[in-house]
Amino acid sequence: MCGLAGKLGFHPGAFPTQSLLVDMCDRIAHRGPDDDGYWIQGPVALGHRRLSIIDLASGHQPLANEDNTIWVVLNGEIYNFVELRTQLEGKGHRFRTSSDTEVIVHLYEECGDAFVEQLRGMFAIALWDSRRRRLVLVRDRLGKKPLYYTVIPHHGIVFASEIKAILADPVVPRALNHEALDAYMSLLYVPSPLSMFKGIQKLPAGHLLTWCDEKVEVKEYWDLVFERRAVVSEETVLEELESMFQEAVRIRLRSDVPLGAFLSGGIDSSMVVRHMARQSPRPVITCSVGFNEQIYNELPYARETAESLRCEHHEQTITPRIEEIVGKLAHMFDEPFADSSAVPAYYVSEMARRYVTVALSGDGGDEVFAGYSRHYLHHLDGLLRRRLGVLGCGMVSRVAAALPLFKGQQVLTRLGGSAAQACAKTHTEILFKRDLKRLVYSSDFALRCRDFDVEANFTRYYHRSTATDPLDKALYVDMKTYLVDDILVKVDRMSMAHALEVRAPLLDHKFIEFSATLPSSLKLNGRTTKYLLRRGLAGHVPDSVLTREKHGFTMPLAEWLRGPLRPMLEDTLLSPRATQRGLFHTRAIQDLCEAHVRQRQDYSHQLWQLLMLELWHQTYLDS
């Protein structure tokens, strides 16, 4: 787990310098405090900050092949590097180190761009092939590791693990991307490939960028294909799931530094820790955090699970330094990011780093095995459409829209549009819906946004999925959008802020490909979410893990915004600097604040969004 940065200059006047490369890497030193490395040759510079996990002594980067014609930097881990190395040595390749990074250059020699198809892990890679004068940038299949880039016409390509490193180059402009801002207001995050900086992009998950012969090309190398398997018994499928997941955990236990796990006492983290405990000769180190407010506190469940699996358990009740943390978030994320669960993620990472350098997590279980409440709504939407037909759906939608507000109304009214649109709206119409946007957007900003379509990405992925079941289509959309741009961004930034590596066995691509062969009834069975995972855990963890309601990684945000954060909220959102940006109606923002503070309506998440946005402006555009 590390950070990378680099530049390719298109002409001698744009060639990178040592001082620029060092400055870029210094800005992401938190990702790799153990070592730094720099390599410059003519138009290309590769830089690296290292968090030492594998081959502590000789895993220095950048790293080259035998004749120094291919150079690489890696952020992440290649979990199957031991098996790949054996294969490559059998073909005559000579290794200088014992690191996972070195397999990349030799695989590239053997396979060209297809090298990435053999990698099993989480990674962002930058590779320079000097013989062919060719740059290759690669991001892992699920987007666990970040990679940003900008192509500056007639100048060069600048790339890095975080945007702050790219901004070290003075030729990179700092300008607001209004399309990204409009999407952020709907989603809490900025969706790929956009960034909040005009001209800077995220390399999408599962994609590869090449520069050669003065041309930049971005292409996809992996996608999730849904192919239903021949009918077999549930017991047979469960045995296969257990075997595959055990393997996914086993290869993620490879580490030359202390290793443990996050444990919430929920389905996903309990499954990870259970399989770690089966394979570890020592008690698994587990870490949990909670709040004084019992409604947000999962510590009793985590403690009970840890005791049942005989873990070395550590827990902490958070009394947040919330005002201090809020000020840091804008800098850590580089973009506005309003998923408030970033705060507890920050604290559990801070705590875990006292005991371990690597932590396994349960991330991905909800998106792979249908763990969210909206997944039942997708299933219900599919049933209704099959039974009612197009005309029936239209009629039900119109009737539902005309009635007073009632539970389930949105599901029925969305029948008037397509299934893809209904799926998209479960993501885009949660916080700043269209009516609220019209209320708070200034006339100028609203005019800029009139041609933006925040639903387009979601409907595109829905139609693109090879699944035939509406639930599987929705899971595919989740994996391509919310998972990569919210969940995994949060985990990466909050863990790397403390130089902690987090590994997610449930996001092993082979395990996900296995899940795509299963009928949706083994994911959502009636109202039972993550059905097959629950079956695998039965009898191995306390019943409370299996029976309690889902509890997200949440915090008392509404109370904080009425209490300790209220002065900061009002001083920030209603400051002259904020109001002069011309993005929002000041009176409308005042009304949101007042309605929330006086408890007329809970606008906590909307206000948190606006707070994160303004702090980002102050950190990156005003400076």
Task: State the catalytic residues.
Answer: 2
Nearest CA-CA partner of 516 in 313, 298, 227: 227
Partners of 209 in the β-ladder: 137, 218
Residue 154: left (phi > 0), alpha (psi -120 to 50), or beta? left
Enter the tokens of residue 220. 């996809």
- Measured CA to CA, the distance from residue 385 to residue 38 in angstroms comes to 58
3-class SS of residue 610: helix
d(CA 274, CA 271) in angstroms, rounded, equals: 5
* Placement of tokens 């555009």 in the chain: 621
Helices (H), 403-497: 409-413, 419-428, 434-440, 443-448, 456-464, 470-480, 482, 488-496
Distance in Å from the first CA to the final CA of the chain? 30
In angstroms, the CA 204 to CA 206 distance is: 6
Contact 599, 562 (CB under 8 A): yes
Q: Which two tokens stand for residue 570?
A: 């009002």
Sheet holding 200-202, edge to edge: 35-41, 44-50, 2-9, 156-160, 148-152, 200-202
CA distances from 317 to 331, 336, 378 (A): 25, 27, 36
Max Cα-Cα span within the chain: 73
Q: Output the CA–CA distances (angstroms, integers) from residue 264 to 261, 301, 338, 611, in the order listed.
A: 10, 7, 22, 28
Rama region for 220: left / alpha / beta (φ>0; ψ in -120 to 50; rest) = beta
Q: Where are the beta strands (DSSP E) in 250-372?
A: 259-262, 285-291, 312-318, 358-360
In the block, tokens 């202390």 appear at 258
Structure tokens at 74: 């890696």
87: tokens are 């294969």
Q: Is residue 358 within 8 Å of residue 257, measured between CB atoms? A: yes
Contact 157, 142 (CB under 8 A): no
| C-alpha span between 615 and 444 (Å, rounded) | 21
Phi, psi (rounded to 5 degrees) for 353: -65, -20
Say if CB 556 and CB 297 are below 8 A apart: no
Q: Which residues face 44 on adjacent strands?
A: 8, 41
Using alpha carbons, list the distances in angstroms from residue 345 to 287, 335, 390, 417.
11, 17, 44, 37
The answer to whether the peptide bond before residue 193 is cis (omega within 30 degrees of 0) is yes
Nearest CA to 353 out of 258, 281, 440 is that of: 258
Q: At what angle do helices 342-352 and 488-496 cross, to 10 degrees?
A: 40
| Gap between the Cα atoms of 609 and 583, Å rounded | 14
Q: Show the tokens assigned to 238.
A: 């469960």
